[in-house]
Amino acid sequence: MAEELIITLPDDWHLHLRDGDLLQAVAPHSSSQFGRAIVMPNLKPPITTTAAAVAYRDSIMKTLPAGSNFSPLMTLYLTDKTSPEEIKLARRSGIVYGVKLYPAGATTNSQDEVTDLFGKCLAVLEEMVEQNMPLLVHGEVTDPKIDIFDREKVFIETILQPLIKRLPKLKVVMEHITTKDAADFVASCSEGFVAATVTPQHLLLNRNAIFQGGLQPHNYCLPVLKRETHRQAIVSAVTSGSKRFFLGTDSAPHEKQCKESSCGCAGIYNAPVALSAYTKVFEEAGALDKLEAFTSFNGPDFYGLPRNTSRVKLAKTPWKVPESFSFSFGEIVPMFAGETLDWQPSLV
Ligand SMILES: NC(=O)N[C@@H](CC(=O)O)C(=O)O
Ligand SMILES: [Zn+2]
Ligand SMILES: [Zn+2]
């Protein structure tokens, strides 16, 4: 069994860096372990224009330590009002790498978004094909009549399949997939056009983790964790060697008091443990030889970007995850708080 692995520096293809104090607090955990990150636009207010993305990128760059090579790849938040012209501006800016679809009300800060994708956004989607701009989707329907555990499957059937049929040349990333249905669907689509990101929590935890010994708010995220058979299916998908699946942590920090509340926020802060956690998944599947493609090759290949050239070492040295990280504004509790993990990353 390997005691040390050296792999190409990974990128995070789905990350929430937030803004203000929270950005300052969490940026180092990602910028020290990843080359690039696709930065989600669900701020308050959301990043809906290229101008706002440029300003947000500037504020991220200001938080990075001197000499950091971390590169934030920005995204726009699709709304019913987004114009095809905005897509052209985004492409010309050279800093926007995707447009994010949040079905209205699907998740944190997604109140006033797309209500009718085909009715209101078709011209924008056609321009995205023209500009080779990927659509990144939070793939859950929001109809309250649909059971929360079925929302991803129903999204595939009612939105994604018709969308891909209508616009087969649109690049689509199904973000944070959680089900066998999603893994099978992505595997059945054209390589290079449809791909998926997968989080550490959906690979390592099933829905029991939300209720283990009492309600566990730090294991609550969206899409919600699913049953064990689904977890096993997405582990098989990512460890199969398929190029369609890549690393996207969905690290989504919320202050401890917002998680431990009578109405707790959705989102798991996993940036500090992400590389250890993904390595554990591949080790347990006997597929450490497939880890690097998932963490460091498939993402840039899909986005048409060069692979990173620097490397990271993963040493099989047990380390204890902090119970929480404290800041002037409050605390953030990471995934696997207080637990011991095996693989410790460091830049080489
Ligand atoms: N994943 C989550 O549970 N929450 C994310 C939003 C998202 O990615 O859906 C957040 O911004 O907090
Ligand atoms: Zn999401
Ligand atoms: Zn997310």
Pocket of ligand 1 (CB under 6 A): 16, 42, 107-108, 138, 221-222, 250, 252, 266-267
146: helix, strand or coil: coil
| Candidate list 11, 12, 14, 171, residue with the active-site label | 14
Q: Which amino acid is at 233?
A: A
How many residues are given for the chain? 348
| pLDDT tens sequence across 4-52 | 999 999 999 999 999 999 999 999 999 999 999 999 999 999 999 999 9
Tell me the CATH number of domain 4-347, given options 1.10.8.60, 3.40.50.620, 3.20.20.140, 3.40.50.2000.
Answer: 3.20.20.140
pLDDT of residue 205: 98
Q: Could you tell me if 327 and 266 are in contact, meaning their C-beta atoms sit under 8 angstroms apart? A: no
Q: Could you tell me if 251 and 269 are in contact, meaning their C-beta atoms sit under 8 angstroms apart? A: yes
Q: Which of 13, 221, 261 to mutate to test the pocket of ligand 1 (most atoms within 8 A of CB)?
A: 221
The alpha carbon of 4 and the centre of ligand 1 are apart by a number of angstroms equal to 32
29 in active site: no
100 in active site: yes
176 in active site: yes
The alpha carbon of 76 and the centre of ligand 2 are apart by a number of angstroms equal to 14
Q: Which of 38, 42, 108 to mutate to test the pocket of ligand 1 (most atoms within 8 A of CB)?
A: 108
| Candidate list 138, 218, 256, 259, residue with the active-site label | 138
User: What residues are paired with 319 via a beta bridge?
Assistant: 341
pLDDT of residue 105: 77
**Cα distance between residue 314 and residue 138, in whole Å:** 31
pLDDT of residue 104: 81
For 56, 82, 160, 181, the CA distances from 46, given in Å and listed in that order, are 10, 12, 23, 30
Residue nearest to atom 9 of ligand 1 (CA): 107
Locate the ligand 1 atom nearest the alpha carbon of residue 42 and give its number: 11
Which residue, among 317, 286, 281, has the nearest Cα to 201 in the 3D structure? 281
Q: Which of 138, 222, 226 to mutate to test the pocket of ligand 1 (most atoms within 8 A of CB)?
A: 222
Residue nearest to atom 8 of ligand 1 (CA): 250
Q: Along the 348 residues of the chain, how does pLDDT read in single tens digits?
A: 559 999 999 999 999 999 999 999 999 999 999 999 999 999 999 999 999 999 999 999 999 989 999 999 999 999 999 999 999 999 999 999 999 999 887 776 665 678 888 888 999 999 999 999 999 999 999 999 999 999 999 999 999 999 999 999 999 999 999 999 999 999 999 999 999 999 999 999 999 999 999 999 999 999 999 999 999 999 999 999 999 999 999 999 999 999 999 999 999 999 999 999 999 999 999 999 999 999 999 999 999 999 999 999 999 999 999 999 999 999 999 999 999 999 999 999
Burial (Cβ within 10 Å: 0-12, 13-18, ≥19) of residue 45: exposed
Locate the ligand 1 atom nearest the alpha carbon of residue 14 and give its number: 8
14 in active site: yes
The alpha carbon of 35 and the centre of ligand 3 are apart by a number of angstroms equal to 18
| Candidate list 12, 29, 100, 181, residue with the active-site label | 100
250 in active site: yes
The alpha carbon of 16 and the centre of ligand 3 are apart by a number of angstroms equal to 6
φ, ψ at 326 (rounded to 5°): -105, 135
pLDDT of residue 103: 86
Q: What is the ipTM of this complex?
A: 0.98
Residue nearest to atom 6 of ligand 1 (CA): 108
